[in-house]
Amino acid sequence: MKDQWTDRLSEYLDGDLTAGERTALEAHLAACGVCRVTLDELRRVVARAQALDDRPPAADLWPGIAEHIGVVSLAARRVDGRGRRRLSFTMPQLAAAAVALALFSAGSARLLFRNRPPSPTQGTTAIMTNVGMSPLDARTAASVAALEENLARNRGQLDTATVRVIEKNLGIIDRAIRDAQSALAADPANAYLNQHLAQETRRKLELLRQAATLASARS
């Protein structure tokens, strides 16, 4: 059975009726059992919709996406065909890798800078962080700042050994960043140095992200 109010029940449920319409409908509900039942069912439909679980696709879509955008997946198929094996790294492994890479690339930057003749632009241009910062650079800097703040806030969740490793590696990466910035101050157009600075900044972002994840897992 349907009356003139049945089609307004969803609006009533969503709070979309005027005060006058709401009062009238509530008066009708007091007298109409059919509308009360319908309203209750509509409420349950909304609740059911909000409780639906999200399900992943039956097959992993990442290999197709990775191929399309030209990146390599962390997941590698086992040679024996028993399925996928995800490569995983422990915090110390990641930290050691960060140290090795940072030392290597910082050393490369120093060598390159030491062996190069002075650039014609030397002494006339401010350091990279102040010149031509792209929106992406600015966002990366903002992310680094947010994660540094997060780490400071949550470092109490990590044990001292972990904090020591993280801070040691952040110090190394920061030194590499400062070296790159100093070198760029003398030679701002140097493609290698710009790439090196971006790489070190990404490395710092990655290390901070790992630390934030580790800290939040303990919260």
Burial 153-179 (b: 16+ CB within 10 A, else e): ebeeebeeebbebbeebbebbeebbeb
CB of 46 to another protein, least distance (A): 5
Give the C-alpha separation, 17 to 23, whole Å.
9
Residue 142 as a binder of another protein (CB under 8 A): the answer is: yes
CB of 182 to another protein, least distance (A): 22
* 3-state SS class at 75: strand
- Strands (E) across the chain are located at 75-77, 84-86
Contact string (CB under 8 A) for another protein, positions 43-72, x = contact: -xxx-xxx-xxxxxx-x-xx-xxx-xx-xx
Report which residue type is found at 97: A
Give the C-alpha separation, 86 to 14, whole Å.
46
Question: Which of 10/125 has CB closer to another protein?
Answer: 10
CB of 186 to another protein, least distance (A): 24
Residues that bind another protein (CB under 8 A): 7, 9-11, 16, 38, 41-42, 44-46, 48-50, 52-57, 59, 61-62, 64-66, 68-69, 71-74, 88, 90-92, 135-136, 139-140, 142-144, 146-147, 150, 152-160, 162-163, 198, 202, 205-206, 208-209, 212-216, 218-219
